[in-house]
Homo-oligomer: A and B are copies of this chain.
Amino acid sequence: MMVRSFVSSVVNNPIATDVREFLASCRTLIDAELDRLIPKESESPQRVHSAIRWSVFAGGKRFRPALLIAVGQTFGAPPDHLLRTACALELIHTYSLIHDDLPSMDDDDLRRGRATCHVKFDEATAILAGDALQALAFQTIAEDEKLAPDLRVKLISEVARASGVPEGMVAGQALDLEAESRTVDGDELETIHHRKTGALIRAAARCGAMIPNANEDELEAITAYATNLGLLFQITDDLLDVTATVEDLGKTPGKDARAQKATFPALYGIEATRAQLKSVHTAARSALERIEGETQLLQSIADFILQRQV
């Protein structure tokens, strides 16, 4: 019943221009659906289920699901056709955060203002929680009976390629780790981000377009939009790591610099990075001009990310 009313509020407001309101309503919708999809903490094996819920319900902004829903709405998809795939993207994103935070990877103790999964539980449980989340993501799309089976297999292929190797998120994380010990140039840094964070953001947008069967030109425009949006997202993240406090960020700032990580500010300096931010934002908005019909919501999302820099 609660879900139904959220779905209908989105249906009745198909082009929400207030992006904060849109993001908040997506978040409520996604959180309720994730709660249904994930086993309860009371169910055995309890420790791994608790760990999964600790990380999935850690106050994430649900940006990837919201992007998928925004693109889907833009091309006229009913919201209940978008919900499960949107959740699948969030499950993949959460598994990647859990694994990236592990001691042998980025070794982070704090995420969104609280203990990371392996700190709150233990390393083995964190690895298993991530593994289970990945399986659940693909299960969720495979079992989405609102969508035709031939669409479901296309979505699974899209999400799997965006998650794995050689072009997806795992490849990006591997490149990022390889790059820690040496100097990378701007092109390499873009390649890393294109895969590490860009691939999943692109997949979210592309799935949003595939569900309402957008045509090839529209899919291409959305891909260009999302590629720039991903870069915008990463560059603001890099800037926040330099300029924000632990309180602003909910995680330890300055880590990138201490780890001698390749970042845009480290490579170009803060001012040039801010200029790059604007040009990427312009590119994202230009891509939308190739789409017929109303794209105000997608424009507002690009503006919103630009403004999140502190």
Which A positions have Cβ atoms within 8 angstroms of B? 39, 43-45, 47-49, 52, 95-96, 99, 102, 104-105, 122-125, 127-128, 130-132, 134-136, 138-139, 142-143, 148-150, 152-154, 156-157, 160-161, 163-166, 168, 170-171, 173-175, 177-178
Given contacts A142-B157, A153-B152, whether A171 and B132 have CB atoms under 8 Å apart is yes
What CA separation (Å) do A161 and B73 show in the bound complex?
30
Is A99 touching B135 in the complex (CB atoms < 8 A)? no
Is A170 touching B132 in the complex (CB atoms < 8 A)? yes
Smallest Cβ-Cβ distance to A122: which chain B residue: B104
Is B171 touching A156 in the complex (CB atoms < 8 A)? no
Across the interface, A45 reaches (CB within 8 A) one of B99, B150, B160, B171, namely B171
Across the interface, A128 reaches (CB within 8 A) one of B132, B166, B170, namely B170
The CB with the most chain B CB atoms within 10 A, among A45, A127, A157, is that of: A45
Smallest Cβ-Cβ distance to A92: which chain B residue: B135
What CA separation (Å) do A124 and B177 show in the bound complex?
8
Chain B residues with CB below 8 A from A152, complex form: 149, 153
Chain B residues with CB below 8 A from A47, complex form: 174, 178
What CA separation (Å) do A236 and B260 show in the bound complex?
50
Given contacts A124-B105, A157-B142, whether A48 and B136 have CB atoms under 8 Å apart is no
Is A48 touching B132 in the complex (CB atoms < 8 A)? no
User: Could you list 9 A-B pairs, sorted by A, with CB under 8 Å?
Assistant: A45-B175, A47-B174, A102-B124, A104-B123, A125-B174, A131-B170, A134-B134, A142-B160, A149-B153
Chain B residues with CB below 8 A from A104, complex form: 122-124, 127
Across the interface, A160 reaches (CB within 8 A) one of B43, B95, B125, B135, namely B135
What CA separation (Å) do A36 and B110 show in the bound complex?
40
Across the interface, A139 reaches (CB within 8 A) one of B39, B142, B160, namely B160
A154 to chain B, nearest CB (A): 8
Chain B residues with CB below 8 A from A177, complex form: 124-125, 128
Is B128 touching A143 in the complex (CB atoms < 8 A)? no
Smallest Cβ-Cβ distance to A152: which chain B residue: B153
What CA separation (Å) do A47 and B171 show in the bound complex?
10
What CA separation (Å) do A123 and B127 show in the bound complex?
12
The CB with the most chain B CB atoms within 10 A, among A43, A130, A132, A177, is that of: A132
A176 to chain B, nearest CB (A): 9
A173 to chain B, nearest CB (A): 6
